[in-house]
Structure 1
Amino acid sequence: MSTLPDFEGWAIFAKVAQRGSFSRAAEELGLAKTTVSKAVARLEARMRTNLFQRTTRKLTLTESGRLSLARATRILSDGAAIEADIIEEAVSPRGLVRLATLSAMGIEIIAPALPDFMERYPDIEVDLVLTESQVDIVAEGFDAAVQLEVVSASTLHATRLWTLRRPLVAAPSLIERLGMPEGPEDLARYPTIVASHIPDPTEWTFAHQNAAANSDPISIRVQPRFRANNADAMIPALLSGIGIGVMADYFIMPHLKDGRLIELLPEWSVPPRPLYLVTPPGRARPARVRVLLDFLQERLAHEVLVNQARKGN
């Protein structure tokens, strides 16, 4: 066996896995379909195992293929980034960037910011995918994702962008009807609005801001009257007084300022949730990806300052 790995074959394998098709991979790589097929067959012969299960309708990874994908993707992305740093793209970024993000964050922050970015970089295309679940950025071929959780054992690169404070809020009409709660223990008698896409949405945990007064967090079970897997869908229910809810302050700050929502139990806090910018393994990234990530970090830092100013007024 040759001591030199088949780098081209692994890069082609990664592209086929990302696109789920030999034909689509060949089209994107600018190669003949037979060239792509032969490269994968060459790898399978070398490894003495199949990397894909092939049917007339579907192409899926075998266990060997799944175990190889992350490192093969790194070969593909590192090779593209090396060339990008040398050729014109390093000077004038161009090409497609695939970005996945939480729906509410994408609608409220990222999508409004992208026109400025694309005006600054007219040769860059952006494919923005909104989701309520965590994506597999390697297997699904994303260049980056904005998400709330990162698996601790992951080889992905994660940069903490923002910490989302999550106050407990309600419409004044609901408080007029049911009264103001005096502590977390009172919340069991209130109808609630919960985010159905997070783990165990019916358990709320509160910590007192004065640890000396109450050092132990309090967890309660709530009774949802309305569930939604999108933050924007929860806001009308909150404003109408259907129930109380815990929401990231960025999305409800205008309603808190104009009095359509009020914060309950401000001396108690629900644990904030960090927001991460996640990228695939490997240090090298194409210039088009680097400039978008830098832009998003700048824009989100600005949003944090604006949000803090809103809270101060």
Structure 2
Amino acid sequence: MKLPDFEAWAIFASVVEHRSFSGAAEALAVSKATVSKAITRLEARLGTSLFHRTSRRLTLTDSGRALAEHAQRIRSEGEAAEEAAFESASAPVGLVRVAAPLTFGIQAVAPALAEFLTLHPGIKVDLRLSDAFVDIVGDGIDVALRIAELPDSSLRARRLGPVTAHIIASPDYWDRVGRPRHPADLASHACFAYTNTATPDIWRFRRAGGEEAVVRIDGPIRTDSGDAMLPALRAGLGVARLPDFLVAEDLAAGRLEPVLPEWTIGAIGLHLLTPPGTLRPARVEALIDFLSENLKRMCTEAHF
């Protein structure tokens, strides 16, 4: 059996990441023709098309989507092997792509990165902040931070700590509508849905002793941004389930008021995710270790 075409696999991973042949060619410092030939060569060997090609757009076929994760793993492990050979003689260098939620990224990740880059001047970071779902493999992300209940996946996940969440509204809202005594009471309230979850209209609760409650919520706002809920919350338009780091100032100032403190809300945690595979470049390992230590401590001290 012939050896795999490792170069073509690595080029395929780069095309997936940059979403174009020309973008991959520029990133790899090769010609567009070299990229095109490598993809054609790989498709011929696999007996399947990897991309749908039009004059305006390049999209993955079903086969291409299924193989993209393998391609990224091949490229990453190749980079890791090369870096391991030079690791003892030089400090980690190169680019690391990081994805994080918007507000948490600004409040916690950006300051941590400033310290990390001071310690590792040879490393560069491409930080992408968004509350929207990020395709870690498809977007070529090396490290992603997520605050959620994670579904099963092939991604490697490390739980860094719990994130405290609150059921909150303005005091005026509670005075007008009434404060719930049990999670089931929320079914009759105007509750805002955060759509970056698997079940945005379902809130799950648990309290000491093992009692659980599941509530189907409804309300005037559905959004993929917790920040976007705050003006409507302060205006007394409804109820939201939001993490402490997002609402701590409003709670301290009395603009928002939590209820049902004896109930915990789901199994929300801060997770660090990486693509599948056991080998990673030294620069990525360095950042993973740094963020894990710093953010784990932050979760404990700040009670996120």
Q: Please give the TM-score of this superposition, normalised by the length of structure 2.
A: 0.88
Q: What is the aligned counterpart of 1:235 among 209, 230, 235?
A: 230
The aligned residue for residue 260 of structure 1 is 255
The aligned residue for residue 76 of structure 2 is 77
Residue type at the aligned position of 2:240 = G
Please identify the structure whose Cα radius of gyration is greater: 1
SS in 2 for 1:93: coil
* C-alpha distance 242-205 of structure 1, shift in aligned 2 (>3 A): same
The aligned residue for residue 169 of structure 2 is 170
Find out whether 1:183 has 2:182 as its counterpart.
yes
Q: How much has 1:189 moved relative to structure 2? A: 4.1
The aligned residue for residue 128 of structure 1 is 127
The aligned residue for residue 157 of structure 1 is 156
Question: What is the distance in 1 between the residues matched to 2:36 and 2:202?
Answer: 51
List aligned pairs for 1:134-145, cutoff 5 A. Answer: 134-145=133-144
Q: Does structure 2 retain, via aligned residues, the 8 Å contact 1:89–1:287? A: no
Gaps of 5+ in 2: none
List aligned pairs for 1:1-313, cutoff 5 A. Answer: 2-87=1-86, 91-147=90-146, 148-152=148-152, 154-211=153-210, 215=211, 217-308=212-303
* C-alpha distance 17-180 of structure 1, shift in aligned 2 (>3 A): closer
Q: How much has 1:269 moved relative to structure 2? A: 2.6
Moved >4 Å (runs of 4+) = none
SS in 1 for 2:25: helix
Question: What is the distance in 2 between the residues matched to 1:100 and 1:237?
Answer: 27
Bigger Cα displacement from structure 2, 71-80 vs 115-124: 115-124
* C-alpha distance 114-287 of structure 1, shift in aligned 2 (>3 A): same
Q: Does structure 2 retain, via aligned residues, the 8 Å contact 1:170–1:243? A: yes
RMSD over aligned Cα, in angstroms?
2.4
Question: What is the distance in 2 between the residues matched to 1:139 and 1:89?
Answer: 32
Q: Does structure 2 retain, via aligned residues, the 8 Å contact 1:84–1:90? A: no
Q: Does structure 2 retain, via aligned residues, the 8 Å contact 1:104–1:230? A: no
Q: Does structure 2 retain, via aligned residues, the 8 Å contact 1:168–1:264? A: yes
SS in 2 for 1:158: strand
Q: Does structure 2 retain, via aligned residues, the 8 Å contact 1:90–1:287? A: no
Q: How much has 1:284 moved relative to structure 2? A: 1.2
Q: Please give the TM-score of this superposition, normalised by the length of structure 1.
A: 0.86
Question: What is the distance in 1 between the residues matched to 2:216 and 2:151?
Answer: 26
SS in 2 for 1:182: coil
Q: How much has 1:117 moved relative to structure 2? A: 1.9
Residue type at the aligned position of 2:21 = F
* C-alpha distance 234-107 of structure 1, shift in aligned 2 (>3 A): farther
How big is each residue's C-alpha offset from its partner over 1:74-132, in whole Å with a ceiling of 9 and x where there is no partner? 11111111111222697322211111222232232212322222222222221111233
Bigger Cα displacement from structure 2, 177-186 vs 240-249: 177-186
SS in 2 for 1:247: strand
Q: How much has 1:24 moved relative to structure 2? A: 1.7
Equivalent pairs, count:
303
